Structures are given as structure tokens and as C-alpha cells.
A and B are shown apart, each in its own frame.
Chain A
């Protein structure tokens, strides 16, 4: 590839503006979270951190409407379970589609791609009825079960497995007497590691963020996910905004942490997925 266009000072100026607008609301969230509750009534609005973060955190965890700690723990349980499950089942199916020959594989793959376009969120009413029947309302399995494996995950793994795993290696393992299960475990899984990292990160973030379905099915205020705790805080009769913002900041923190540590891989994953799809 020959060289790219040079970036002019104007380019940098525009990028700084875009980056600033992107980062500011997040920054400001932490500012308000670190201030006392009267920061909300100040003009001009405060833009530098204060020293009240610790006090806000203890008030937040003591808040008896939000069940914030339960929310954090529940979200961690849900997000981690879903991530492990999605990664496992998606890599298994992706391996099958990319490297194993079986009748109907193309048609089945097309079906999976098509399912990515289906707005399944519109089915939450029967889903709610189903969970009632299974006696899972207000319980975490209700938000875990529907997303144990996703079409996006299978498709992404199939794309990656197609280029990352050499067919010769699989044939060699087969000649050595390996069954497909052992080939998956010993050959495929190690080779898929970079893609697994990206899929895992994206799944974790999506699940952590989920709002509509948990809001519908987890009605017990004492057993929320962290996003539902935020809703309870925000809808509270008496609003202490610095406490609410402390909640939003803490709920965002795990995602930011993941992003700072693995941002490069996440960006690579999004961009590679775009080129191939």
C-alpha cells in the first residue's frame, strides 16, 4: 500500500475536537461523582474533580433503594457466565463451520447470519411468559439463558477460524487418531485465542450494559443488575445527583478498565469484522 495522505494541523484540530467531545461526558461523570451534592446547582457547572468521592461511595452503598452492591455482584455473575458460555459455544460452532465438512453447512451458516438481523428484543413479552412458567422471574438465569450463545459470536469465530487454523494441522491430528472434540480442545482453541479475547471482551461489555430485558424480568428491587440499580437511583423521589453519578461512574469503571487494557484488540476486532462481513 502506498502512503496515506498527510494529516494537516486542521486534521489534528478536528480530531482533538471529536476526541474531546467523546471523552468529556465520561470525564464529567467522574467530576460530579467526586463532588458534594450541591455541585448540581452551581453555575458555571464544575469541571474539576472535588474531594468527596469516598463519602459519595459510602452513601451510595448504604442507599437502601438501589441495592447497588447486589447489583454489582449480579452483573458480574451474569456478564462472566454469559461471556464464558458465548465464547465456548461460539468457538465450537465456528470451528465446525470453518473446518468440518457436513451436509447443509452453507445453508445453516446463512441462517445464522440472517438471525443477526432479527430484532429478537421484540419477543420479550412471550419471553416473559416463558420465564414465568419456568419460575425464573426475578432470578438471574432469566437474563443469562437467552444469550448463552449468539449468532454474532458464531459468525465471528467462523471467520477467524477459517484463516487462523490450517487444514493440514487438523488432518495431521486426525491421522494421529484425534477425534473432533480433541482437535477442538488441543488445536483449535489455542489457535483461536486472539479472536476469543475480542469476542469475550465485546460480549462482556454488551452483557454488562444490557437494560431492556433485565428491566422487564427482574422486578424484585432487592435483586437488580447494576444498570437496574442506576435506574432506581435515577428515578428516586429525592435525587442526590452526586450519589447517582457515583453510581454511574462505578458502573462504567469495569468497562473503561477493560477498554484501557484491551482497547487495541477491541478496535482490531471491530475493524477486521467490518472488512470481512
Chain B
């Protein structure tokens, strides 16, 4: 706004004309510069609290840097070499990837199936949509605590149900693979409905006559789903996969609160389900405050996210790229 105050017309022949040209000038300055003012808050906030910290994490990772930070010593790649030889770190990498696979793959397949169900003539359409979305709007921490109890060893409902069908109780918290399954169940529960609605929106944008044409060609319902629906959903699927990758590999709240007690940040007594974000947190904050080492974990996780996202995109591009119907035009809003 200071710009406007400084904008004085160079000459002022008569008072009346001066006012006019001044107003015109002001409005031109307004039109030219105010857009930058309006978009500036995002860039300022993102630069200070998003981009800078992420970039600076790399700088910190090259130092021996503790809480006081009074005298950080540059140690080059030492944190990284230590990390690559750190079995607890690799343990967390495997946990992260395991939980990620168990949570993303079933989640997206189930979401596709659910979207297909919702994409029909239904009574109480909004009701069904709300029912599948409600897990997504609950508090993550609350849900993690509830699932922690549902998966309890002795009095948990899941083990009780398993017992009914003759399966021995499972040690959901201290068996590594079982804890992955339990945590992934939580993530699936939360995100399947959300992704289903996104797929549903994309499905509704597919022109009906494509299905009619496919039916005339003798394709049954299942065939239509795999050869018309899925290929046309590909951009949406890629979008969901990337979002799930970015979120899934940074998983923290669910595994952290699935466990309770003083050492919960380790994800169980033997780090059964400690994810990389938890390992970063364990090192970087109370009680160790080893900022340099934690930052190195953060950057390796960043690299892993980039690699996995790229691999995912490549895989999905490959799938069914041979038989690809023409791209559907998406216009206007759908409900």
C-alpha cells in the first residue's frame, strides 16, 4: 500500500484534472501491483516455515549439532555414514516400507471397488458417501488409541473374534509383521473412503456411451471395469498413489499412538513398528536432541519418498498403457 502513497503525478496543471489523473494512476498501480500483494502471504509463509526448514535440514545434517547449537561442528557426511551402518535405522526403513505397502495397495484397490459400488443408482446416496467418509474426519490420535485397544492381546476385540473362529490370539504389538498389519488396518480404515470418493468423482466424469459401446462389443461388467473405467481413471489413480506415497512414508501418529508408555516412540519393545519419521523424532527431540543425526534421517526419508513416488508413477504408466481409450474430456462440476 505504500506504493500508492508515493505515486504522485509529475505535473499538476489544474486541481480538477490532477485529481482525475491521480485516481487513474492509482488504479493502474493497483491493478498492476496489488496481485503480488495478494499472493505474497503464501510465499512468505511457505518460504519461512516450509522451504527454508526443509533445505536447512540438509545443512544441519552435515553437522554435529545438539540442542544448544552453540558450537555445531561441520562433519561432512559423517551422520550419513553412521546412519547407513545403523541397524535401528534400517529396521525403521523396512518397517516404513512394509507398513506402506500393506496400507497403500489394499487401500487403493478397496477404494476402487467401493467407488464402483457407489457409482450406481442408490437410495440414500449422500448417506452412503458420508458413512464411508466418516473415518477420515475423526481425530487420528483418538483412532490410533482405539485401534490400539481393539488389537489388544488379551481383551482386544480382534483377538476375541479370531478366537471365535478358532484362531489363537495374535501378539499384535510385539510381533513385527502383526503390528504392521494392525497399523496398516488403521490407515486403510481412515483413507479408503476418502480415496473412493475421489475415484467416484472421476468415474462420474466418464461418458456413459463408452460403456454402451463396450457392451455392444460384448464386454461384460467386469471387462468394462478393467478396460474402460480403470484406464480412464489413470490420472486420478496416479494422483492418489502419489499423495498416498507422500503421506504413507511419513507415517507417524498412528504407529506412535498404537503403542503406549514411555518408550512408545520406539514403536514397541524391539522397534517392531518404528517408522522413519518416528526414528527421526526419537533422535532429534527429547531426550537426545541430536539435531544433526535426526536431520540426516529426514533427508534420507525425503530421498526415499522421491524414489518410491517415481517408481510408482512408472509402474502405473506401464499398466494397461497398451489398450487406452481416448482421453475423456472433463468439464464442469459433477455431483
Contacts and interface: CB of A to CB of B under 8 A. Distances in A.
Interface string A99-141: 0111001001000100101111111111111100000000000
A73 interface: no
A216 B132 contact: no
A148 B41 contact: yes
B99 to A, nearest CB: 16
Highest count of chain A CB atoms <10 Å: which of B53, B193, B208, B252: B53
A179 interface: yes
A15 B45 contact: no
A222 B295 CA distance: 28
B301 interface: yes
Given A115-B50, A122-B57, A7 B126 contact: no
- A interface: dominant SS: helix
B120 interface: yes
A235 B264 contact: yes
B242 A230 contact: no
Highest count of chain A CB atoms <10 Å: which of B56, B133, B142: B142
Given A212-B253, A256-B137, A259-B137, A272 B334 contact: yes
- B interface: dominant SS: helix
B128 A15 contact: yes
B35 A100 contact: yes
A255 interface: yes
Interface stretch (A23-31, A49-57, A58-66): A23-31
Nearest to B27: A179
Contact of A208 (B30, B131, B139): B139
Nearest to B46: A115
B291 A25 contact: no
**In the complex, which range does the number of interface residues on chain B fall in?**
35 or more
A9 interface: no
B134 A22 contact: yes
A11 B42 contact: no
B81 interface: no
A129 B122 contact: no
Contacts of A211: 140-141, 252-253, 256-257
**In the complex, which range does the number of interface residues on chain A fall in?**
35 or more
Contacts of A21: 189
B49 A275 contact: no
Contacts of B117: 7, 11, 14-15, 18
B316 interface: no
B295 to A, nearest CB: 5
Contacts of B57: 122-123, 125-126
A267 B189 contact: no
A227 interface: yes
B54 A122 contact: yes
Given A117-B242, A241-B149, A40 B155 contact: yes
Given A122-B301, A230-B257, 15 more contacts: A1-B204, A25-B150, A28-B157, A45-B155, A96-B39, A119-B250, A120-B51, A125-B298, A211-B257, A234-B257, A241-B149, A245-B146, A252-B138, A271-B197, A275-B330
- The 10 A-B pairs with the shortest beta carbon distances in the complex, nearest first, are A123-B53, A248-B142, A19-B131, A146-B49, A271-B201, A123-B54, A126-B53, A274-B198, A96-B38, A102-B35
